[in-house]
Structure 1
């Protein structure tokens, strides 16, 4: 599984869950207002209250169809001006004893109550699945990444002093891990020395490898070494020295 696949599946579950959850929450608010509106209308028709009494509230609450609203809702006589509290019923106007009165009903319920009233089983299931999928994907991709790291072969490196040679890339590096640039012939000569366990190679072996069937190979080798020494010494604490019919690597003595 690719990371992009995990992300697409996660958001394909998360977005519908949030969208449905919000819509169902908004629908629950509308149903609450409808319920207090119908309960208020029935109360006014039945009582025509000139003031709000306990008896008036009992009639109003008995007409509510949503049980959670019966504990928190209340009635209030008001003016015909719009309410500053937006979450309330319509204003009902009626005339009693020659006087026109206005009354509103307020659900007075918390967001948690509205959420509890709303239908959240499907959004909740989708949200749970998306979270579980996200956790599974993170664990799976992390394990896959670790497995790839473990499976990746470690590139062998040969070091001598503060000079290092990467067998896989065939390049030399100084102490700061910066590449040291050699000519092709210089690079071949340095490889021969670094790959030997005792870091020493005989002159005949070097000549046969670098200049096969060349008569003046020793002179070419001498010229090669003379030009190579300052490059090696300026980039490391390693020196090329003559050693009993061959050349060898040694470290500088402080």
Structure 2
């Protein structure tokens, strides 16, 4: 798999895990709000008063259907609504009640995938790969160590581009090196490039780019 695709998969897993976590939290938050409301309504109905007392809190907790809320929910006074009592619970309590197992599974997958991508990147870097190719013992091999079959002229041109610090050379540099005695080797170079391109693209993530016929270079797709 191309490196950019691996990164896309990693971010997709992270986003999916975050979305699942948020969905679980929102679902639990809604259930908690409904339970708090019904417990408060029953408690106030029993005592037939809006005044909060120790008995109110005790009755409120006894009517909570979600066991994890008992002892963690509190009653506050809402000054914007005629000083009516309002149940509250902390974010940590809602998180503790949420079913986060699906998101944990996806987070684990993202972590494992990230470690795999890191291992693959280090392995390829150790091989001296560039765009899925490596030059070893005078021959080009792919990431699996399989040799890419090139003609002598293709091999020479690839080595020139490969060993260039920028992986790019001018047309004149290439022609002067490969055909020093030929007055105009433009057509010959064009034919060589045209035949080399599909071979390189088939066995690697590289492509040969031309800058208006003035220069040629290797670039990762």
| TMscore range, shorter length | 0.5 to 0.7
Which structure features the higher share of helix residues?
2
TM-superposed deviation, 1:148: 4.2
Q: Aligned partners of 2:136 and 2:13: how far apart in 1?
A: 38
- Unpaired segments of 5 or more residues in structure 1? 83-100, 156-167, 172-178, 186-254
| Structure 2 residue corresponding to 1:127, chosen from 107, 119, 134 | 107
Cα gap change, 1:144/1:33 in structure 2, threshold over 3 Å: closer, same or farther? same
Which residue of 2 is the match for residue 103 of structure 1?
A: 84
Pair 1:8–1:77, CA change in 2 (3 A): closer
CA distance in 1 between partners of 2:136 and 2:50 (Å):
89
Cα deviation 1:10-58 (Å, max 9, x = unaligned): 2332222111111111222222211110001111111113532222111
Deviations 1:143-182 (A, max 9, x none): 0232245952367xxxxxxxxxxxx6899xxxxxxx9x99
Paired with 1:57 and 1:65, the residues of 2 have a C-alpha distance of 15
Q: Would you say the 8 A contact 1:74–1:106 is kept in 2?
A: yes
Cα RMSD, aligned residues only: 3.5
Which runs of no fewer than 5 residues in structure 2 stay unpaired? 139-155, 161-172, 182-221
Separation in 2 of the partners of 1:116 and 1:122?
A: 14
Q: Which residue of structure 1 lines up, in the alignment, with residue 17 of structure 2? A: 17
| Residue aligning to 2:71 | 71
1:136 matched to 2:136: no
Give SS of 2:127's match. helix
Question: Could you list the runs of 4 or more consecutive aligned residues of structure 1 that deviate by over 3 angstroms after TM superposition?
Answer: 76-79, 148-151, 168-171
In the TM superposition, 1:122-201 aligns within 5 A as: 122-149=102-129, 152-153=135-136, 184=180
Does the C-alpha gap of structure 1 residues 43 and 102 become closer, same or farther in structure 2, counting only changes over 3 Å?
farther
When the two structures are superposed, what TM-score results if normalisation uses the length of structure 1? 0.49
Instruction: Give the Å deviation of 1:9.
Output: 2.1
Secondary structure in 2 matching 1:71: coil
